[in-house]
Amino acid sequence: MSAQSPATLKSPATVKTALVGLGWWGRKMATLLKDGSAGLTIVRGVDANPDAADFARDMEMAFSTDLGEALADATVEAVILATPHSLHREQIAAAVAAGKHVFCEKPLDLTRAGAEASVALCREAGLVLGMGHERRFEPPIAEILAAAQSGKLGRLLQIEANFSHDKFLTLDESNWRLKADQAPAGGMTATGIHLTDLAVKLMGQPADVRVVCENLASKIPQGDTMSAHIRFVNGGTAYVSATLATPFISRFAVFGTEGWIEVRDKAHVEAPDGWIVTEGWKNKPITVREVAPAEPVRENLRAFAEAVRGVSAYPISGEDMINNIALLEAIVRSAKSGELERV
């Protein structure tokens, strides 16, 4: 069979999708999906700000300020939610009621109860729920997950991870990303949630967490410097840092009895520039190599489209989604109390 042409990739088989939220990250996804090569075609854009109509027009999508209008469109099969976290539960419920598959930007919710409700709604309706955890789709992170799954790393002992940047320091103070009730615990909902997603995938159900969250270099209401120490039910720990007042760094390292792997991003996932991978294996010298750039955001969306079409199951389980949000809820409690909090 011959390779698919761009025309074939943009055939009616692509999943017709409404993109809800045309801000910074929504526009990133719209741009990635414009050619239809990920199996999704954005046919409608929704944003509360009518000024977003210009962007929608440029991207050749119908526009409205009303989510209900998009959900009433029979041609729309799925929705992508790139909206404030506190809106996700209500919007997912509305999408499911309209029979639409849902891809939700992280975090799924701010409470375990909300995450459980959304996962259950989608399951009961037979609809796919995708999550914006693109870190799992970065090639070197996928290598870590495979090495853990196969036993190559041995018994997993510890994770060390840091995903920090200073992108929010120039945001207008009215931006929802700078609201403590919308984005609590420093950089946790912006970046740290990706690290805890990977930690839950690798280490299983979290048991408890202790957090230090301070405001050392800005007036960001939720704090600009956050670190969390997490213990897991099956043993092992994870240290996670998510700071909003230092230049970009993204580092993820996992340590096992047979070896360890560290991955450093060369640039923010907004514009990927590849990775530096350092490995240490028992009785072998430490090695360092570079991995070429890739588009993990697109690959995550492709996996969602394939799940909608029944080609393959979506790789992020509902249980992982719930465990991650349960951990987030405990992190927020500990950031406020300064105490060890059960998950």
For every residue of 37-82, DSSP letters joined together read TTSEEEEEEE-SSGGGHHHHHHTT-EEES-HHHHHT-TT--EEEE-
Q: Same domain, yes or no, for 110 and 149?
A: no
- The arithmetic mean of pLDDT across residues 185-199, rounded, is 97
Predicted confidence band at 332 (pLDDT cuts at 50, 70, 90)? very high
pTM: 0.93
Return all residues near 189 (Cβ < 8 A) that are at least 6 apart: 85, 106, 107, 110, 182, 183, 328
Is 157 inside a domain boundary? Answer: yes
Q: What is the DSSP string of 164-221?
A: E--GGGGS-TTSGGG-TTTS-TTTIIIIIHHHHHHHHHHH-SEEEEEEEEE-SSS--T
CATH number for position 288: 3.30.360.10
Q: What is the pLDDT of residue 173?
A: 84
> Quick one: 117 exposed, middle or buried, by C-beta within 10 A (0-12, 13-18, 19+)?
middle
Q: Same domain, yes or no, for 286 and 260?
A: yes
Predicted confidence band at 5 (pLDDT cuts at 50, 70, 90)? very low
CA 144 – CA 130 distance, rounded (Å): 21
CATH number for position 69: 3.40.50.720
Q: Is the pLDDT of residue 176 over 90?
A: no
Last residue of a domain, one of 132, 163, 183: 132
Predicted confidence band at 172 (pLDDT cuts at 50, 70, 90)? confident
Q: Which residue has the higher pLDDT, 2 or 60?
A: 60
Domain, as residue range, for 276: 135-342
Question: For the ranges 175-179, 231-235, 255-259, 279-283, which has the lowest average pLDDT?
Answer: 175-179
Is 1 inside a domain boundary? Answer: no
Structural domain count of the chain: 2
